């Protein structure tokens, strides 16, 4: 197999059918380490990508995603396995990423150095769009990531972030307007 094919296959996230995922969640709730490992493998890439696109720091994104997985494992006994696992996990990831972004913004305000973000997802969006995305407030960045990069509906985002749907739509509209203005101003 060619190296390019291996890289593409390695980059593709594992997809689980709803039925398979429910079985894995049930087994994980009953203590199966193998089921947890399979859930982790199936959801790690998108969880890490969501964290990275909110925090714009590769090391922090890894920490955020790992912390979110640990929190999910700790709360797995309260998870309703009739519901899809991915939105529940992404809610935890995005909330943890928002918390990190807020703490980091506070640190910057008190004088910490601003480090240029790097990471595996940056080239996919292009430098111009990544720079514009980085300029958004974390709350707006989160809804853009969830809607346009992870492809959740505004209703799903509202449920995940425990916000009214109108607030999600408003944040999304303001974010997209700012992104458009920033990209057009740079051209």
Residue 96: per-residue pLDDT: 93
List the pLDDT tens digit at each of the 187 positions of the chain: 333 332 333 334 457 788 899 999 999 999 999 999 999 999 999 999 999 989 989 999 999 999 999 999 999 999 988 888 999 999 999 999 988 988 887 677 655 444 444 444 443 567 777 888 888 888 888 898 888 888 889 998 998 888 899 999 999 999 999 988 887 887 7
Residue 11: per-residue pLDDT: 39
For the chain, what is the HEC assignment? Answer: CCHHHHHHHHHCCCCCCHHHHHHHHHHHHCCCHHHHHHHHHHHHHHHHHHHHHHHCCHHHHHHHHHHHHHHHHHCHHHCCCCCCHHHHHHHHHHHHHHHHHHHHHHHHHCCCCCCCCCCCCHHHHCHHHHHHHHHCCHHHHHHHHHHHHCCCCHHHHHHHHCCCHHHHHHHHHHHHHHHHHHHHHHC
């Amino acid at each position: 197999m060619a190296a390019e094919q291996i890289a593409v296959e390695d980059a593709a996230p594992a997809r689980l059918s709803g039925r398979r995922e429910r079985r894995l969640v049930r087994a994980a709730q009953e203590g199966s380490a193998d089921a947890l490992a399979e859930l982790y493998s199936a959801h790690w890439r998108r969880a890490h990508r969501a964290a990275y696109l909110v925090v714009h720091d590769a090391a922090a994104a890894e920490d955020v995603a790992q912390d979110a997985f640990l929190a999910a494992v700790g709360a797995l006994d309260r998870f309703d396995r009739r519901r899809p696992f991915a939105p529940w996990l992404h809610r935890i990831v995005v909330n943890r990423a928002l918390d990190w972004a807020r703490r980091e913004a506070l640190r910057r305000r008190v004088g910490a150095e601003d480090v240029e973000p790097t990471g595996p997802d940056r080239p996919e969006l292009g430098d111009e769009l990544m720079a514009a995305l980085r300029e958004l407030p974390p709350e707006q960045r989160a809804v853009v990531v969830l809607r346009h990069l992870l492809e959740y509906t505004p209703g799903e985002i509202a449920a995940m972030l425990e916000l009214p749907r109108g607030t999600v739509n408003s944040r999304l509209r303001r974010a997209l307007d700012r992104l458009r203005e920033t990209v057009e101003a740079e051209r």
